[in-house]
Structure 1
Amino acid sequence: MLKIDIHAHYLPRDWPDMAKKYGDDRFPVIHHTDDGRHRIYKDGKFFREIWSNTWDPQQRIDEYARFGVQVQVISTVPVMFSYWAKPHHALELHAALNDHMAETLRTHPRHYAGIGTVPLQSPRLAIQELERCIDQLGLQGVQIGSHIGEWNLDAPELFPFFEAAADLGAAILVHPWDMMGAESMPKYWLPWLVGMPAEQSRAACCLVFGGVLERLPKLKVCLAHGGGSFPYTIGRIEHGFNMRPDLVATDNPRNPREYLERLYFDSWVADSRALQYLLDTCGVERVMLGTDYPFPLGEQVPGAGIDAMELDDAGKARLFHGTALEWLGLPKSRFA
């Protein structure tokens, strides 16, 4: 059975040293050490260690093959978003990442699809790069953060970008980043354990309550990490909508539960009961394999969560590739 992982992070082995070029240590930089380690630094401090499977396309293909997964939909690592940067500086970085991704798709077309990255602090430049990703580079969409600086995803400044994405049929992957409350959660990896699910719910609620999805019915949005806490607190969100519409339904009168049938979700929720709830609540038509590869927080055996579900072959086919192909706007023959 064809299996497509729609949430697979990817970087070049080296990227432009924007910190050195522009004298700004906030840009992430990569250091390759003599003892064979590869470390990302940001703000002059160690951020994360990565490995060759972050950039080596054949190594990735071989690793996925052990689990019977043939296709990866690659996206950058959120630390690269750099939404705080001057727009043209960010565009320079994003364009380099997108060009590298497109080259991987050209050399390994049966094993890769791609969603690029755009400098959303300038919606005008973001639209320009989105159009280049789709029309020139052959990518299928873009990944964006759960918020853009002080803008939540309902910000009117961002609406032209979403409108352009809908017109282009671009797949949008919303990924948590710059987690809320991080400064007050310095221990226990809490920004990733607590902040990430909250970020995704914030993004979903803003797209729903802000009327973005209502105004753009063709917009194809997937929420990474199973939608974070949004599907699991939809009862509370709906209750608030019903009981205090004066506070909640100010920009969109439609019940938020209805949008579970409009959004897409990846399958990585780290718990079989949570995945079953996601399928029961949103339907197999809205969920697709996603692993967060190659990082420790992701699914270590790609597809194991779906394999554990009691589904018929049609249901598993939908989760493993059917929903993904619909979201990406690609035929199955693309990977034959």
Structure 2
Amino acid sequence: MVPPLITLEEHYFSTAAMNTLDDKMVEQFKYIPGLRDKLTDADQIRLSEMEKGKVSLQVISHACIAGGPPPNVCREGNDQLAQDIKKNPDRFAGFAVLPMADPKECAKELERSVKRLGFVGAMIDNHVHGKYYDGDEYDVFWEKAQELDVPIYLHPTWPSDDMNPRYTGNFSEGAGRSLGASGWGWHTETGLHILRLFAAGVFDKFPRLKMIIGHFGEMLPFQLQRICNLSVRWGNMKRKLKEVWDENIWITTSGVWSLDPLRCVLGNTKIDHILYSVDYPFAKNEEGLEWVEQLEKSGLLTQQQFEMVAYRNAEKLLGVKAPVRS
């Protein structure tokens, strides 16, 4: 029997966000049937799609917006999402969208979204035009996230203009776009960002910071032992990388429907830091359900561990409660 399922990397676009999209995202609307409608709906279409995967509670967040939206778009988008969540408060929770180009405004909007709108954290794009968030100017943001005790989900985004040349070569333009994005590049860039934050001492400054990364850890688990061994050369950190991994990083299963990555992850990641997710609507809830059923039969996890991944870890991390399915 499938337990309650909570999913955390589930995407959406508010009206304000839709008006800021660049050609890369708009192009996807041409090739993925129904994508626009699924992203802009937070009611019957979304609930129907959740039923296909027996999803009890979905944490909704804006999909990636190249370059990051300005503060006014974030405020409007978060307000609209909050109103949408109110229609089905037992089925939806929210992650805030933030203006990552402006760290001070990020901190303000995060606080507003958590305290006034009831959001349970934020999902942020991996960079703003190639700029990462390991500089001192972002301390005000990380400090606010730690103070509010909510997780920050670091999500891949499109390569910036200066990144694009590394994904061009003796292959088609389509292959290059994929290599730079979900076919490879934006996953490794997100993993790199986590390592940059560690190397810059962000986790020393903010030892209670909670971060989530998707897609089974954005390539990091496979290389984790090697990175941990080499990271001792990166400076005099208060904690080693493996301690930060164990204490500050959570990973989700989003959009990866194989047990092979899980076998790797179980060897180096605490079970209470592994969370089920789908990556809707870029991945299908029913595909996620098939994976969940395969996992239950695999014997990789005890029943208690299986329920932790399915929903209990998310309940604990986010302070939410999965509704009991009838």
Aligning the two structures, in what range does the TM-score lie when normalised by the shorter sequence? 0.7 to 0.9
1:265 to 241, 251, 255: 251
Matches of 2:17 and 2:98, distance apart in 1: 16
Equivalent AA in structure 2 for residue 4 of structure 1: I
TM-score of the superposition, structure 1-length normalised?
A: 0.82
Matches of 2:285 and 2:159, distance apart in 1: 21
Q: CA deviation at 1:150?
A: 4.8
Aligned equivalent of 1:71: 57
Corresponding residue SS for 1:218: coil
Matches of 1:155 and 1:327, distance apart in 2: 27
Equivalent AA in structure 2 for residue 224 of structure 1: G
Matches of 2:221 and 2:265, distance apart in 1: 7
Residue by residue over 1:271-321, the C-alpha shift from the partner in whole angstroms, topping out at 9 and shown as x without a partner, is 31112211232022111011111015x675124334323222211110111
Aligned equivalent of 1:24: none
Q: Classify 1:54/1:162 alpha carbon distance in 2 versus 1 (closer, same or farther; 3 Å).
A: same
TM-score of the superposition, structure 2-length normalised?
A: 0.84
Aligned equivalent of 1:198: 188
Equivalent AA in structure 2 for residue 280 of structure 1: G
Sequence identity of aligned pairs in percent?
Answer: 22
1:110 to 62, 69, 90: 90
Residue by residue over 1:70-107, the C-alpha shift from the partner in whole angstroms, topping out at 9 and shown as x without a partner, is 1111110112x633x7xxxx011111211111011111
Corresponding residue SS for 2:10: strand
Q: Classify 1:281/1:65 alpha carbon distance in 2 versus 1 (closer, same or farther; 3 Å).
A: same
Matches of 1:300 and 1:285, distance apart in 2: 24
Q: CA deviation at 1:194?
A: 1.8
Matches of 1:176 and 1:47, distance apart in 2: 18
Q: Classify 1:98/1:335 alpha carbon distance in 2 versus 1 (closer, same or farther; 3 Å).
A: farther
Aligned equivalent of 1:60: 46
Corresponding residue SS for 2:28: strand
- Residue range with higher mean Cα deviation, 158-167 or 182-191: 182-191
1:244-259 mapped onto 2 (5 Å cutoff): 245=233, 248-249=234-235, 252=237, 254-259=239-244
Q: CA deviation at 1:255?
A: 2.2
> Aligned-pair RMSD on alpha carbons?
2.5
Aligned equivalent of 1:135: 115
2:207 to 197, 200, 217: 217
Aligned equivalent of 1:15: 16
Asked if structure 2 preserves the Cα contact closer than 8 Å seen for 1:266 and 1:288, the reply is yes
Corresponding residue SS for 1:48: helix
Q: CA deviation at 1:157?
A: 0.8
Corresponding residue SS for 1:282: coil
Matches of 1:92 and 1:226, distance apart in 2: 33
Structure 1 alignment gaps of length 5 or more: 19-26, 29-40
Corresponding residue SS for 1:151: coil
Residue by residue over 1:252-287, the C-alpha shift from the partner in whole angstroms, topping out at 9 and shown as x without a partner, is 253212222120000133431112211232022111
Q: Classify 1:133/1:144 alpha carbon distance in 2 versus 1 (closer, same or farther; 3 Å).
A: same
Asked if structure 2 preserves the Cα contact closer than 8 Å seen for 1:71 and 1:110, the reply is yes
Which has a greater percent of helix?
2
Aligned equivalent of 2:277: 290
Higher relative contact order (CA 8 A, sep 6+): 2
Asked if structure 1 preserves the Cα contact closer than 8 Å seen for 2:215 and 2:252, the reply is yes
Q: Classify 1:117/1:288 alpha carbon distance in 2 versus 1 (closer, same or farther; 3 Å).
A: same
Aligned equivalent of 1:279: 266
Residue by residue over 1:124-174, the C-alpha shift from the partner in whole angstroms, topping out at 9 and shown as x without a partner, is 111111111011111111111222345323211111101101101122110
